[in-house]
Structure formats: structure tokens, C-alpha cells
Structure 1
Amino acid sequence: MGEGSRALKREKNWLPGLLLVTPSIVLVGIFVYGLIGQNVWTSLTSSSKRAVSGGRVVEVTQNEGGLANYTSLLGSDGYQHALWNLLVLTVVFLVGTMLFGLLWAVLLEKGVTAEGVFRSIYLFPMAVSFIAAGVVWRWLLSPGQGEQAVGLNKLFQMVGLDGLQSEWWSTDSRWSMAAMAMPAIWQLSGYVMALFLAGFRGISEDQREAARIDGASEWQIYRHVLFPQLSPIALSALIIIGHMSMKMFDLIYAIAGANSYVASVPATLMWTQMFNQGDKVAAAVNATILLLIVAVLVIPYLVYTNKTESEGD
């Protein structure tokens, strides 16, 4: 067979596949990367707004354009407050979901009566939308106390634990967002549990038996045999939960409202900038910064995963 025939055969092999994925490539290029590029372009433009001065309508510069838009937003008190809230929310969310997810996975892995029932109970919150869960948790985390107490504060009052009553997320303190993480922990701990449980079930029983023969206690088996093998799963869970926390909007919107300053994060602030203030440039700057924050978290993980898979091959 000549070189021309082999080249034609290779072309026939890859051409159908290319034609099959071309529509997806075009759509992703336009509606993902094209819109990301448009957003970045918008974030670098200048804008002005009309204001009344001396009885006349004048144009007032709202955004200077270029990197000044980014320095202006990052230097504002409102955005720094939103970033701090995001940090508190993410840290508490990650610690809570990983802790409870691992705990429930260990309990189920050890074997309990009616495991299927407990597994369904833990996974059920995942089936509930953040909006629906937020409506319920808004009542549970109501800040009213004393005669106005409802939700958790009412429960504490009924059992004589009045000292545990709190204003939850509604107080303007540096740690108020820790309460906002409670609904998210409740909703996604079951997902982390499923990941860890799958990891436990994937480890051969022979390894445990060998460790027991060597005289290892149950704690030592978990610490030195099982947990090290769950490191890739733990890393995946951290990345997934972490990026969900950083762009969380619907849960906070349902509990505190999109315009709440106390519970504001970059995602809810973006809504305020775009629809309340009419400042699309500031919203685009906010979106770009949020994209960069998520990229800093996700891209190293993708590189690590790709490298690990390449070494495995």
C-alpha cells in the first residue's frame, strides 16, 4: 500500500469523529470561551452615569477603564467584606463537609443495621435544591429570641438552653457567615460520605486482614492502611466542594436575600452590581476575579490529575 493510500485511510478514520464533535466545539467556543472573553473585555472598559449637578444633568465617570477597574473594586470596603465572608464560608463549609462526610462513611463502612436506610437519609439532602433548602433554613436560623424565637432558637428555649440562642448570620460580625455554612454542610455532607464510602469499599479486605495479623489495632488500620489510600478521593472532594462554595449564590439568596450586606459574597454582590446599581462593568470585574479564584483552585488539580493518569498509563 502506497503512502497516499495510507494517508487517505487515516483521513477517513479521524474525519467522521471530527465532524461529530465540531458542533460541540463551536458551541463551547461561542457560549463559553467567547462569553468569557466578552466579559473580560467589558471589565476593562470605561463607563459613566448620569447625575444631577447644579440643576443640570452631567455625565460622571463610574469606571475609569483598564486595570483601574480591578484596583478600584478590590480596594472597596464592600468587596473586601464579601471576600472575607467567602473565606469564612469556604473554610467552615470544607471542614464541616469533610468531617461529617468521613464520619458517616466510617460508620457505614463498619457496618450498621439498615445501612440502606441511613445511606438514603444522608444522601437525601442532595436531592433538594439550594433554594428549597434555603427557605427552610431561613426559618431555622431566624435571629428572633425570647418571645419572638422560632426555629433553632425556639428549640433551644424549649429544652432550657437559652444560652445557645444566636442571631446567626444576621449579625454584622466577622464570623456570621459560619452560620450560613450550616445549611450547605447539611446538604452536601452526604455527597462526601458517598465518595469516601466508595473509596472504603474499593480497598481489598486482604489488606485489613494482613494488618490485623501483624497486630495492628483498628485505629492503626484506618490511619496507616485505609486513610492514605483515600487521599485522591479527599483531594477530589476538597476541589469539588471548594469551588461550589466559592460561586454559591442560590442558598445565600434564599436565606439572606441578594442585597444583604451582612451575608454578601462576590456572587451575591455581582447580582447587586448588575441589577440594582446598573453597573455592568463592576459586575464583569467581579465575575472575572471570581473566575480567577476558582481557576487557581481547579487548574492545579486538573494538572495533577492529568499527570497522575499519564504516569499510570
Structure 2
Amino acid sequence: MAKKTKAVSSKKRMASWGPGVLLISPSVILIGIFVYGLIGANIWTSMKDTHTAAQVSGREPSHFVFFDNFIELFGDPDFQHQLLNLILFTVVFLVGTLIIGFVWAWVLERPLKGEGIFRSIFMFPMAVSFVASGVVWRWLLNPAMGESASGLNRLFQQVGLGFLQNSWTQNITFGICAIALPAIWQLAGYVMALFLAGFRGIPEELREAARVDGATEWQMYRQVIFPQLAPIALSAVVIIGHMSLKSFDLIMAITDQRTYSTKVPAIGMYNAMTDNDYSNAAAIGTVLLVIVAIFVIPYLIHDSKAGKER
């Protein structure tokens, strides 16, 4: 009798969660193979000495070298320059989009005449691909000066601000910061939309309560409104931060893979792969994966804890 009861209960459990498992199993299998499986294959390749076309094709053997590729990579001045460029680009991109997006959202926080037009204008750059905008910004950021100046340098010349002319992307130290300008132009509207949704989601009762308590408009924003936007700001930092860490197409469209001043790890990975240096390419990919995980995993943990508290 006990065996029959157990069999019935197991059948009921199968009937309750069985269809759900069958429904998600194709996605789980595909993600397991094409995401985590390929991540594992990439890490495995990064620990081998596959550096030539002969090794890639199998004509010569590859050997397991553990972390030698990573040690050589971090000791390479070129890769150190790429990491420094990545930090500069991420900081400028992140700060620029957050400040501009927040200010736009603050201006549009109260309904205005023609607000829909302003929102459309601010959001329009998001509809343009990085490659398409990169072609335009390549002309705008032309480093030529003087008689041969074009783009922004020519504009500065014509309006009497010639002292603002500079070499843009050709500057060895800060050339990568010029690439952040089109990136900010494209994604500041997205950050604006996030903050605007946050502003509009704050109950009017909180504002009224602050005013009744005698708070000035600035005190109300500083002590009531802005703290409510902290989760939005954190989400924006994570989204924009991980996008900047993986930037590739915009840089390739504005300069190219040979321009030293704008090289980042993603460009270095592309160069290594096209030179059949699969192990170094995989090592750079693994480093980028770890950097992105450092950004994203704490956010996911924080978000999970916040969800449980709610």
C-alpha cells in the first residue's frame, strides 16, 4: 500500500513539474552548449600554446601550458596600454552618459509642451547602429588641422575657437576618450529614459509630504527624490559599464584595428585571432569575461537580495 502511495505521489509530481521541464529543456540545452560550453572551450584554448596557423589546422601539436599565456599577456606593454585605454573609455563613457542622461531626465521630469518631440530627439541616436554612427563620427573627429581641417576642427576654426582643435583619436594618451563622445551621444538618451521612468514612478504623495514638512524644492529632491533613484542609477552603471568593456564595432568604424591610440582588449583579441594566435585571443576573451563578471555578478546578487526583501 505504501509503495502504491509513493508511486501515485511521484506521478503527481511528474504531472505538475514535468511539462515545465520539457518546455524549458531546449533552451537549457542550447544555453549549456552555446554559452557555457563555448566559455569552457575558450578557457581551455587560453591555457594551450596554439599560436600558429599550423597548430590551428592540427599540422603541429598544441600543449597545455596552464597560465603562461595570461602571465605573458599582463607583462606585454601593448596589452597594458589596451587595459589603460579600456579604463579611460569606460570612465568617460559612464560618467558622460550618467550626467547627461540624468540632467535630461530632470529637465523632462515635469510634463512640458512638446515633450514627446524632445524625447524622440534624445532617443533617436539609439536607433542608429554603432557602425553607421562611427562612419559619420570618423569624419567629425578628423585629426587634420589648419588648412586641411574638416569635421569638428573645421567648425572650431570657423567660429573662432581654433584653440580647441586637436588630434582627437590620434592622441596617444587620450585618443580613446574621443571615441567616448559618439558613444555618449548614442546612449545618453537610453539613460535618460531609465531616469525619467524612475522620476515618474515616484508617488506624488512623497513630494507632498516633503512640502508639508517644510522642505524646499532642493531639499525634497536631495532627501526624497534622488535616493529613490539609486536602483536606477545602479542599473545604468551596470548596463553602460558592461557595454563599454566590450566595445569593438564603434572603435573599428571610427579608427581601425591598427590604430595604437585607440586599441582596447577587444581589438587586441581580434588582431590575435586574425593572426591565428588563438590562445592569446582566448586569453584576452577570458580576461574580458572576468572583468564583465566583476561588474555584473555583484549587481545580480544585490538585485536577488532586494527581490527577496520585497
TM-score range, shorter chain: over 0.9
Q: In 2, Cα distance between the equivalents of 1:187 and 1:85?
A: 20
Q: 1:179 corresponds to which residue?
A: 178
1:294 aligns with 2:292: yes
**Comparing 63-72 with 113-122, which one deviates more in the overlay?**
63-72
* 1:166 match: secondary structure: coil
Structure 1: distance between partners of 2:224 and 2:280: 50
Quick one: structure 1 residues 48 and 150, their matched pair in 2 at CA, closer, same or farther if it must change by over 3 Å?
closer
**Counterpart in 2 of 1:6?**
9
Q: Does the aligned pair in 2 maintain the 1:109–1:197 contact within 8 Å?
A: yes
Q: How far apart are the structure 2 equivalents of 1:248 and 1:62?
A: 31
- Check the 8 A contact 2:49/2:65 in 1, yes or no: yes
What amino acid maps onto 2:142 in structure 1?
S
Report the residue type matching 1:291 in the other structure. Answer: L
SS at match of 1:110: coil
Aligned to 2:189: 190
Check whether the contact 2:48–2:62 (CA below 8 A) recurs between aligned residues.
Answer: no
The structural deviation recorded for 1:65 is 2.2
Match of 2:26 in 1: 23
Higher strand share: 1
Distance 1:62 1:262, change over 3 A: farther
TM-score, normalization: structure 1? 0.93
Question: Which residue of 2 is the match for residue 303 of structure 1?
Answer: 301
Maintained 8 Å contact 1:142/1:150: yes
Aligned to 1:155: 155
State the SS of the aligned residue for 2:261: coil
Residue aligning to 1:106: 106
Question: Number of residue pairs matched?
Answer: 303
Q: Secondary structure at 2:142's aligned position in 1?
A: coil
Give the conservation status (yes or no) of the 8 Å contact 2:101–2:190.
yes
Higher RCO by CA contacts (8 Å cutoff, separation 6 or greater): 2
Give the match for residue 284 of structure 1.
282
Q: 1:269 corresponds to which letter in structure 2?
A: G
Which stretch of structure 1 is more off in the superposition, 11-20 or 61-70? Answer: 61-70
Whether the aligned pair in 1 keeps the contact of 2:108 and 2:196 (CA below 8 Å) is yes
SS of 2:260's equivalent? coil
The structural deviation recorded for 1:166 is 1.0
- Tell me, yes or no, if structure 1 residue 236 matches structure 2 residue 235: yes
Q: Mean alpha-carbon deviation: is it higher for 26-35 or for 213-222?
A: 213-222
Segments ≥4 residues shifted beyond 4 Å: 48-51, 59-64
1:1-313 equivalences under 5 Å are 2-47=5-50, 49=52, 65-173=65-173, 175-275=174-274, 277-312=275-310
Tell me the amino acid that sits aligned with residue 223 of structure 1: R
1:19-42 deviation digits (Å, cap 9, x = unpaired): 111111111111111111000000
Q: Give the Cα–Cα distance (whole angstroms) in 2 for the partners of residues 29 and 47 of structure 1.
A: 25
Structure 2: give runs of 5+ residues left out of the alignment. none
- Cα deviation per residue 1:189-243 (whole Å; 9 max; x = unaligned)? 0000000000000011111112122222211111111000000010000000000
TM-score (norm 2): 0.93
Matched-pair contact (CA < 8 Å) for 1:134–1:251: yes
Question: 5+ unaligned residues in a row in structure 1: which ranges?
Answer: 52-58
